[in-house]
């Protein structure tokens, strides 16, 4: 495990063990590469991203915190400020079958405009043949705080026209501000812009790609976001090629809408997502 500096000055941790290769940037505590030894990489990054300071990376697992989507406050950044902040690398633990890398988010004075509460937030990566990411919020204050969050994972799916996502039976979702719509069927195919905020969703979904099945599971979450920008939005997105929608999908472990996190004083909550080739 070594820490290095990227060409543009972004610092990252590089992991290379018998189980996996991975790279995690201190900006956003954002993992952008994860490959189990002997298998295909499990995360996708756009070739259009040039790894600039302050913009986050278009791929891997961006951390959306302390709100998902647009903030109710005008001018606040979409998906919160954690993904463009420099996190502190706390520890790297070499275990028998895995490496654990822990980051904490220092809340700067300027951040308190967005988040004036006495809490701490940690991100723990457990890297083996499976990628596990855990986002923990601890309320140190003396009043209740609520937040929404998501681990905005980008997956390489080869060909969106041949992708089927399963594990969605008996759920409901809001899309483009409409709904909620009940979904009885288990699978989702893709033939247009898809931006579904699911709630009441089971803990395990699978992405059936041409290179195998990517299994994504969640703990302490009943909500997730399924997103493919399709043709028109791809042309409007920053750091994204027009044809990138063909080879990626986002399936994001979340705590959003009625599944938001509410912490009583001294209470903590951990959102975990596990990502692996089935
Ligand atoms: O998670 C889906 C979504 O909310 C989309 O609506 C799209 O905005 C995407 O996130 C990417 O957002 P970003 O701020 O990373 O460009």
Q: pLDDT digit string (tens) for 115-173?
A: 999 999 999 999 999 999 999 999 999 999 999 999 999 999 999 999 999 999 999 99
C-alpha distances in Å from residue 224, one per residue of 187, 197, 205: 15, 6, 10
* Residue 144 neighbours by CB distance under 10 Å: 12
In this structure, are residues 21 and 35 in contact, taking their beta carbons and an 8 Å threshold?
A: yes
In this structure, are residues 214 and 235 in contact, taking their beta carbons and an 8 Å threshold?
A: no
Q: How far apart are CA 252 and CA 129, in angstroms?
A: 20
Residue 260 Cα to ligand 1 midpoint, Å, equals: 18
Q: Which atom of ligand 1 is nearest to the CA of 56?
A: 15
* Residue 1, pLDDT above cutoff 80: no
Q: How far apart are CA 117 and CA 27, in angstroms?
A: 22
Residue 241 Cα to ligand 1 midpoint, Å, equals: 15
- Residue range(s) defining the domain that contains residue 225: 4-277
Q: Is 152 a catalytic residue?
A: yes
- Domain with residue 210: its CATH number is 2.70.98.10
Task: Transcribe 88-135 into DSSP letters.
Answer: EEEEEEE-SS-EEEEEE----GGGGGT--S-EEEEEEEEESSSEEEEE
Q: What is the pLDDT of residues 236-272, one digit of tens each?
A: 999 999 999 999 999 999 999 999 999 999 999 999 9
Q: The tokens of 38 are what?
A: 């002997």
Determine the average pLDDT of the residues in 23-38: 98
Residue nearest to atom 4 of ligand 1 (CA): 69
Identified catalytic residue from 79, 122, 252, 274: 252
Cβ(78) to ligand 1 under 6 A?
yes
Domain count, the chain: 1
Cβ(193) to ligand 1 under 6 A?
no
Provide ipTM, 2 decimals: 0.98
Q: Average per-residue pLDDT in the chain?
A: 97
Q: How far apart are CA 26 and CA 156, in angstroms?
A: 23
Q: How far apart are CA 251 and CA 227, in angstroms?
A: 7
């Amino acid at each position: 495990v070594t820490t290095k500096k990227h060409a543009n000055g972004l610092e990252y941790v590089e992991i290379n063990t018998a189980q996996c290769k991975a790279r995690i940037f201190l900006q956003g505590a954002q993992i952008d590469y994860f490959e189990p030894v002997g298998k295909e990489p499990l995360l996708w990054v756009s070739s259009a991203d040039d790894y600039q300071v302050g913009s986050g990376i278009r791929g891997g697992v961006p951390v959306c915190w302390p709100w998902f989507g647009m903030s109710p406050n005008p001018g606040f950044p979409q998906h919160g400020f954690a993904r463009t902040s420099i996190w502190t690398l706390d520890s790297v633990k070499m275990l028998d079958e895995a490496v654990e890398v822990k980051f904490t988010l220092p809340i700067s004075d300027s951040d308190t405009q967005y988040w004036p509460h006495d809490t701490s937030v940690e991100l723990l990566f457990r890297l083996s043949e499976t990628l596990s990411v855990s986002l923990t919020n601890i309320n140190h204050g003396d009043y209740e705080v609520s937040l929404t969050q998501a681990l905005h994972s980008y997956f390489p799916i080869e060909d969106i026209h041949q992708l089927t996502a399963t594990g969605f039976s008996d759920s409901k979702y809001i899309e483009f501000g409409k709904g909620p719509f009940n979904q009885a069927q288990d699978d989702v195919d893709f033939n247009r812009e898809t931006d579904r905020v699911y709630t009441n969703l089971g803990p395990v979904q699978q992405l059936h790609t041409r290179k195998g099945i990517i299994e994504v599971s969640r703990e302490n979450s009943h909500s997730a976001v399924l997103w493919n920008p399709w043709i028109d939005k791809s042309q409007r997105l920053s750091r994204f090629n027009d044809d990138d929608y063909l080879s990626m999908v986002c399936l994001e472990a979340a705590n959003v809408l009625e599944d938001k996190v509410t912490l009583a004083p001294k209470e903590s909550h951990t959102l975990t997502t596990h990502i692996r080739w089935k």
